[in-house]
Amino acid sequence: MMIALVFAVVVATVSVALFFLEWRKRRVYSKYMDKIAVSIGEETGAPPLYIYERLRKKLGELEQRVIETERERRNVFTILNNITDPIIIVRGDGVVTFSNIAGRDVTRPGVEGRKVYEVVENYHLLEMFEKALQTGEIQSGDISLVVNGETRYYDAKVVPIKLDQESERYIIVLHDTTKEKQLDKLRREFISNVSHELRTPLTSIHGYAEALLDDDLSNKDLVRRFLGIIESESARMTRLINDLLDLEKLESGEAKFNFTIVDMCQVIERVLSIVEPIADDYGVEVRWTCEGEKFVYGDFDRLVQLVLNLVDNAVKYTSLKESGEKSVTVRCFEKDDKVVFEVSDTGPGIPEEAQRRLFERFYRVDKARSRKVGGTGLGLSIVKTIAEKHNAKIEFESKLGQGTTFRVIFNKPQVKEEQDDAAV
């Protein structure tokens, strides 16, 4: 009896203890469940299975978001790398954390992870970085860097960015302004050249007109001579302005080209009818050969202009030779699949150091010589532009004191029928 009682008490105690333990476990379990529910934005007391489902969904979403963030991050780097302006990101302690591909081209190798002072070779840019570091303000300025042995100009900016309380970044952005700088230089040179070219004849016209006004005009020969100078100087100005306008039209693409099949022999004949009387006056003999028909695809009037400029130069500059043979030979012939127009003279020739600049606007080997023959310094620029429009190549060779040969090499027309049509 006693044993049974003791056994019952033990069983009851163990049961109570087990019940209590189970109750505690459940409480702890539901407390944590509630915590999880709250952390994922659900109501407390929701069934565990429901919370498990919600939790699984949330984890899936998070995983997706991490993948997307990583993809975004990679996209941002791809975009930065494809920007053609150099971009370099520097930490406050001067260490470069990122450089895009263009940035690597303008810095020393191994830019990332190195101090900006070690990889950027421009004192002014480093000074801008220092100033941005001290003031926390955007710095900008013009700098130049040597890239692949060539000087390039940049509009540089250093932009400080605060990421959070402790960290900040300095973004160095360089915008290449080399082209603008070169265009600006060309524009300034052009304006100064045009002003100079116009001022010379204007000064002359003004001077002779003033002299006439001050004179009693009794010496008819003097008056005639001065008026002659005024007339030729104003004609020079007109020629200059016409050449300028023409060149501008050609280069801007405004000039209309009427492309057809053209016989270069006809072009040469037309030019010679203009040049031969002048050549006679200058005492220069002009010979020419153009057998049969030499077809090219081009604009007849523009080809006349091209040939005229070259033959006219040859005649005029040869006429300035003090002694020896004064002749110009014009030829047109076929070579392989090309049509070659050639004009050679026995003139003064062009010095080697001047040959490189011959086709530049206003370039003259000898200013006085060009002036003497009424040159504008634009003839060869016009020739070059017209040749380019015809996909033709220009070659020349010249020996000082012996003469010059210019060659314009055209492609033969491709379309057989067009050639036949033109020949009719």
CB of 201 to ligand ADP, least distance (A): 14
| Token pair 């002009």: residue | 286
Phi, psi of 69 (to 5 degrees): -60, -45
Q: Using an 8 Å Cβ cutoff, are 99 and 111 in contact? A: yes
Pick the closer one to ligand ADP by CB: 296 or 358. Answer: 358
Measured from the CB atom, is 129 or 362 closer to ligand ADP?
A: 362
**378 vs 394, beta carbon nearer ligand ADP:** 378
- Shortest distance (Å) from residue 407 CB to ligand ADP: 12
Question: What one-character DSSP code corresponds to residue 375?
Answer: -
Residue with tokens 């280069």: 251
Burial label for 267, CB within 10 Å (0-12, 13-18, 19+), is buried
Q: 116 or 378: whose CB is closer to ligand ADP?
A: 378
In angstroms, give the least distance from the CB of 132 to ligand ADP: 51
Dihedral Cα 112, 118, 120, 124, nearest 10 deg = 140
Spatial neighbors of 381 by CB under 8 A, at least 6 apart, are 247, 359, 360, 361
Cβ nearer to ligand ADP, comparing 158 with 310 = 310
Q: Which is nearer to ligand ADP, 94 or 374 (CB)?
A: 374
* Distance in Å, CB of 100 to ligand ADP, minimum: 45
The CB-of-213 to ligand ADP minimum distance in angstroms stands at 31
Give me the sign of the Cα torsion angle 382, 385, 391, 393: positive
Neighbouring C-alpha atoms within 13 Å toward the C-beta of 388? 11
Residues near ligand ADP (CB under 6 A) are 313-314, 317, 345, 347-348, 350, 358, 363-366, 370, 375-381, 404
Nearest to 277 by CA among 329, 315, 331, 307: 315
Is 143 or 380 the residue whose CB approaches ligand ADP more closely?
380
- Least Å from the CB of residue 267 to ligand ADP: 18
In angstroms, give the least distance from the CB of 404 to ligand ADP: 4
- Which distant-in-sequence residues (6+ apart) come within 8 Å of 365 by Cβ? 350, 351, 354, 358
Count CA within 13 A, CB hemisphere, residue 24.
6
CB of 79 to ligand ADP, least distance (A): 48
In the complex with ligand ADP, which residue's Cβ is closer, 223 or 278?
278
Positions of E strands within 268-355: 285-289, 295-298, 327-335, 338-345
